[in-house]
Structure 1
């Protein structure tokens, strides 16, 4: 176990996300940065892991198949008040960011966030914000990612996706037919 001076004496990190590919990729990246990683794909799995001891750090997805990631944040806060918690979400709404911070999250990041952004957020101290990312996503890319996510959640039904996004169906079809912006 390589101990990083920025991480501190307890490098334990809990990752909670129901996207298995993302969870495994992030776990490998965080292990390379010196964290001792445990993984959970649901609120229930996270609660079981917390019973065995609360980690010093956590990265929690807001929307999980069996509940809300804020339940994990709350349970972790009760088990370990000094834990540094970053909440991830595919929906960057102000209301959910405020709720996450009120429940005890240290920071709030919109997906797709990379391991470098997450590490910076976990290790930032004090009232200062972490520095901005070197190459943030463009507004067009963020919009495209959101549309793609809603489209997948609507089982690739264009009409239903258009209704939920308050868009004209033909406009949505044109957007879906294009390549993703950079």
Structure 2
């Protein structure tokens, strides 16, 4: 590992295969030393004070990546903290940015885009959002209400006027499956 703390990228994702592949590809494509962890707690236990960037999965096995943003920023002072997620929503994007994320990318994300974001070469002004489908609009609304109720499915279902099981089915329909 390099002596320069700003040359370190920290990857946090519970998918160990994804971690290994991304770590190898980032090390081959950049000058960064890449350290991978499967949880926020594992990352916080590292003997590092500063890192250049953190790539953080939003849905970790036993914790939310959103919940870890503050403590990761406080300990490592990264120039970049990029949230990665399989299913992005406007509500979670806003929440991640409020908590201190510097960027938010939907998986799968290309290596070139990650490298651009980590090296400050992305021209984010050229990104044009595509129109949302009715299903995406519904998903966004559900995510906003769920976030407003701190992830409480029963309270969210009540606020949406849905039965709890109906809401759970809708959430499962769009939630990525874990292998």
- Counterparts of 1:82 and 1:59, CA distance in 2: 10
Higher share of residues assigned helix = 2
Q: CA deviation at 1:81?
A: 3.8
Instruction: Give the equivalent residue in structure 2 for 1:173.
Output: none
Instruction: Give the equivalent residue in structure 2 for 1:115.
Output: 111
Instruction: Give the equivalent residue in structure 2 for 1:129.
Output: 124
Instruction: Give the equivalent residue in structure 1 for 2:143.
Output: none
- Counterparts of 2:69 and 2:126, CA distance in 1: 24
Counting only pairs closer than 5 Å after superposition, residues 148-159 of structure 1 correspond to structure 2 as none
The structure-2 alpha-carbon separation of the partners of 1:25 and 1:94, relative to structure 1 and needing over 3 Å to count, comes to same
The structure-2 alpha-carbon separation of the partners of 1:18 and 1:130, relative to structure 1 and needing over 3 Å to count, comes to farther
Matched, 1:164 2:159: no
The structure-2 alpha-carbon separation of the partners of 1:108 and 1:96, relative to structure 1 and needing over 3 Å to count, comes to same
- Counterparts of 1:79 and 1:107, CA distance in 2: 18
Partner SS state of residue 67, structure 1: coil
Matched, 1:45 2:42: yes
- Counterparts of 1:44 and 1:11, CA distance in 2: 21
Q: TM-score, normalised by structure 1?
A: 0.63
CA contact (8 A) 2:69 2:100 kept: yes
Matched, 1:64 2:60: yes
The structure-2 alpha-carbon separation of the partners of 1:102 and 1:131, relative to structure 1 and needing over 3 Å to count, comes to same
Cα distance per residue 1:29-78 (max 9 Å; x no partner): 111111111110112211212x5323121100001012111233211221
Q: CA deviation at 1:25?
A: 0.5
Q: TM-score, normalised by structure 2?
A: 0.64
**Aligned-CA RMSD value:** 3.6
Q: Which runs of 5 or more structure 2 residues have no equivalent in the other structure?
A: 137-164, 174-179
Matched, 1:21 2:21: no
